[in-house]
Structure 1
Amino acid sequence: MRSIGEMARDSGLSASALRFYDGAGVLVPVRVDPASGYRWYGPEQLEESRLLARLRRAGMPLADIRLVLAGWASTDTELVRSLLQAHLLRLERGLSDARSEFSTVRALLERRENSMTPSVTTTSRFAVSAPELAAALDSVRFAVSTDPELTALGGVLFDIEGEALRVVATDRYRMAVARADTTGYGGPRMQVIVPAPLADAMRALLSDDVSVQLTVDGDRVALEAGDHQTAGQCLDHEFPDYRRLVRLPAGRRVPIDVTAFRTAVESGPVRAAERTQDGVACDLSVLKVTGEGAVSVCEDGDDDQGCVAVNREFLLHALAAGARDQLILELGAPTAPLAIRRPEDEDAFSLLMPVRLES
């Protein structure tokens, strides 16, 4: 017999993924301790778990995996082969369709790039409030991407327009936006992506009693804070148009006490799931607005239509980044992002992408 921890180590599936597959009826442990709920797996289930991990990495739906494992256990090789072949054909058709669509998108992108007028490179220098910039960087840093394949998201966007500097970060699953006031800039809207290490170096120089100057010179950005300075190259990429991404349908806004809500999330029930984008296992907190107008963490089996499921770790990060005793949660449809807002500042907020619950 293997414990769930041993099974996770030997199979390549996380413990949360194993709990998810148990709940989904795909890989049910041979024994569950009635007192503690702890799961134990039989020796023959190790091979099944490794097979399950391979099939999920290949993108096979759970409904088909159930049949494959059933056929595997009964040595029905004909059923297993037919299911594998059917899934392979689906993947090949999907890849062919994707190649065709991507070719069209690339052609449109090349046409768009060729029609764009090159921007004039100028040097801009302006002052920024040190406490506001420090708070803004603290608010968005958690959402910077660490995916090496998405280098455009590996930094913090500095979006300068008028007297506002908006800082933005996203890793596709979450987004954070904050603002700091500027003085001395009167040019057109300007955007630069500051690499995460440089943004961290800037944050280390900021304190309440220093004057701060930002300088953007072509593809370089520098920050002077008192007698100290840090500078470096900007990322040579286009950042997504975040203004389009934050236009959400109106949801229900509910004030929360952050300490109490954080405790409820940390101690409340979770559901194991996998992100559809990359198959990474995660624990979900499922939230809903109660009849009393509060936000609660749903128990297992409580799947009201208004429930919104989000990555619990990301939710806790966003609550910490909000840096307030009171915040506002905005919940819309289960497919709409969850917004976390500051009561006094509409320009500072976080968005968490919802995770679809397995039916």
Structure 2
Amino acid sequence: MPNTELMPIGVFARRSGLTSSALRFYADSGLLPPAEVDPVSGYRYYSADQVARATALRQLREIAMPLAAVQAILDAGADEASRLLDEHVAKIVGDAAAALRKAAVIKSAFVDVPGLPIAALKGPVLADAVEQVLTATAHEPGMPVLAGLRIEVSDEAVALTATDRYRLSTRTLVPTQPPEHTWAGTVNGDDLRTAVAAIRRSTLVRLEAVPHGIWLRVAERDDRHCRLLSEGFPDHRLILASLGRVTTRATVSKGLLLRALEEHPGEGIALHVADHGVKVRSADDAYTGIPLPATVTGEPLQIWFELTTLYPAVSTAIGPDVMLELRGSDQPVTIRSADRGDLTTLAMPVKSDHTA
């Protein structure tokens, strides 16, 4: 007879959240054998020590974990189990994103409407611009538009814009020929990231608008479909138009500034701009800062940023130098490529006490 401290399969099923039939299956597969089996009746009994393993097994199966992977996680140490779990979740997320993209392509085929040609751009140039501007996106619950890239096609140019509320990045591209139509839409940023490699390897990419999406037509490769976001994009033109007067300009080496930001010990960064140059300073007054040579015009100014806001804005600039246009310690800073003005990023400062 079994030990009186053991539980029959029905009681253990209630404790673990697994059905009796599932427990029999997991016992036969070797994942969760019972602590004891009555040799006469064949009844299965489980110990209290097995509840945690059974609960973890149930939870892993609830997120569609294959049996082999469940076995590996249950038998692994904490670090290895976490790694395997992260890999599984990443695969699920990737598969779901791929399914969404494929579903969008299928739905577009249901609509018997010819695509609208909107622009043709050089593939490598478009790929670089997409990657640069997408650094200003963010995935925020309830605000999916912040993860999108706004594409606006005028009679002469194609403008790409993105914002995460702390940065606003925009770049203007010259198409290979005048656009046939004006057009504007906000494109799913993740879809564009997936398409970047194919875009970069294509000499020419033709943009074609269809209901709920755009097609990126590439020669000698599979065309890429990107979904449109239905939410309204922030009025970035109003933001740009309402910027105050620039009071200070500083032109500094992009490489030296990035290196100073990388070597800076804290998350909060102060830029002290004066006649002698730009100094990257810390919140700690005892920290002397990193001086950088720069060409400065206008009023001396000290302004604070979070590293996660300033660094991407500088790193995506084009060319060896960047120009910082400052309007005050509490106003957005414009970060431009000193020799090419078609990529512009606004970076929001923070207060000196690091509050937004």
TM-score range relative to shorter protein: 0.5 to 0.7
Q: 1:285 aligns with which of 253, 260, 269?
A: 269
Q: 2:119 aligns with which of 122, 126, 132?
A: 126
Alignment CA distance shift 1:181-1:149 (3 Å) = same
Equivalent-residue separation in structure 2 for 1:176 and 1:252 (angstroms): 20
Equivalent-residue separation in structure 2 for 1:330 and 1:198 (angstroms): 33
Give the conservation status (yes or no) of the 8 Å contact 2:118–2:180. Answer: no
Structure 1 residues 116-166: Cα deviation after superposition (integer angstroms, max 9, x where no partner):
xxxxx9823431122321221121111111112211111111111112111
Aligned AA (2:351): R
Post-superposition, which runs of at least 4 consecutive aligned residues in structure 1 deviate over 4 A?
none
1:307 shift after superposition: 1.4
Equivalent-residue separation in structure 2 for 1:338 and 1:142 (angstroms): 17
Alignment CA distance shift 1:177-1:262 (3 Å) = same
1:113 alignment counterpart: none
Equivalent-residue separation in structure 2 for 1:232 and 1:130 (angstroms): 16
Q: How does 1:69-148 map to 2 (within 5 A)?
A: 123-148=116-141
1:308 shift after superposition: 0.9
1:323 shift after superposition: 4.1
Instruction: Tell me if 1:230 matches 2:224.
Output: yes
1:167 alignment counterpart: 160
Equivalent-residue separation in structure 2 for 1:291 and 1:163 (angstroms): 39
Equivalent-residue separation in structure 1 for 2:202 and 2:187 (angstroms): 24
2:309 alignment counterpart: 314
Q: 1:298 aligns with which of 281, 285, 309?
A: 281
Equivalent-residue separation in structure 1 for 2:274 and 2:264 (angstroms): 16
Aligned length: 224
Alignment CA distance shift 1:232-1:162 (3 Å) = same
2:236 alignment counterpart: 242
Aligned AA (1:159): E
CA RMSD across the alignment: 2.4
Alignment CA distance shift 1:202-1:222 (3 Å) = same
Give the conservation status (yes or no) of the 8 Å contact 2:129–2:171. Answer: yes
TM-score by length of 2: 0.58
1:348 alignment counterpart: 343
Equivalent-residue separation in structure 1 for 2:167 and 2:304 (angstroms): 13
Equivalent-residue separation in structure 2 for 1:233 and 1:260 (angstroms): 39
Counterpart secondary structure, 1:214: strand
Equivalent-residue separation in structure 2 for 1:177 and 1:200 (angstroms): 17
Structure 1 gap segments, 5+ residues each: 1-120, 271-282
Percent sequence identity over aligned pairs: 23
Give the conservation status (yes or no) of the 8 Å contact 1:133–1:179. Answer: no
Structure 2 gap segments, 5+ residues each: 1-113, 287-298
Equivalent-residue separation in structure 2 for 1:259 and 1:122 (angstroms): 43
Give the conservation status (yes or no) of the 8 Å contact 1:132–1:179. Answer: no
Give the conservation status (yes or no) of the 8 Å contact 2:274–2:300. Answer: no
Alignment CA distance shift 1:163-1:218 (3 Å) = farther
Q: 2:324 aligns with which of 329, 332, 335?
A: 329
Equivalent-residue separation in structure 2 for 1:163 and 1:130 (angstroms): 18
Q: 2:252 aligns with which of 256, 260, 271?
A: 256
Instruction: Tell me if 1:266 matches 2:262.
Output: yes
Higher gyration radius (CA): 2
Aligned AA (1:259): G
Counterpart secondary structure, 1:213: strand
1:269 shift after superposition: 5.2
Structure 1 residues 62-92: Cα deviation after superposition (integer angstroms, max 9, x where no partner):
xxxxxxxxxxxxxxxxxxxxxxxxxxxxxxx
1:195 shift after superposition: 0.6
Give the conservation status (yes or no) of the 8 Å contact 2:151–2:186. Answer: yes
Q: 1:154 aligns with which of 142, 147, 156?
A: 147
1:322 shift after superposition: 1.3
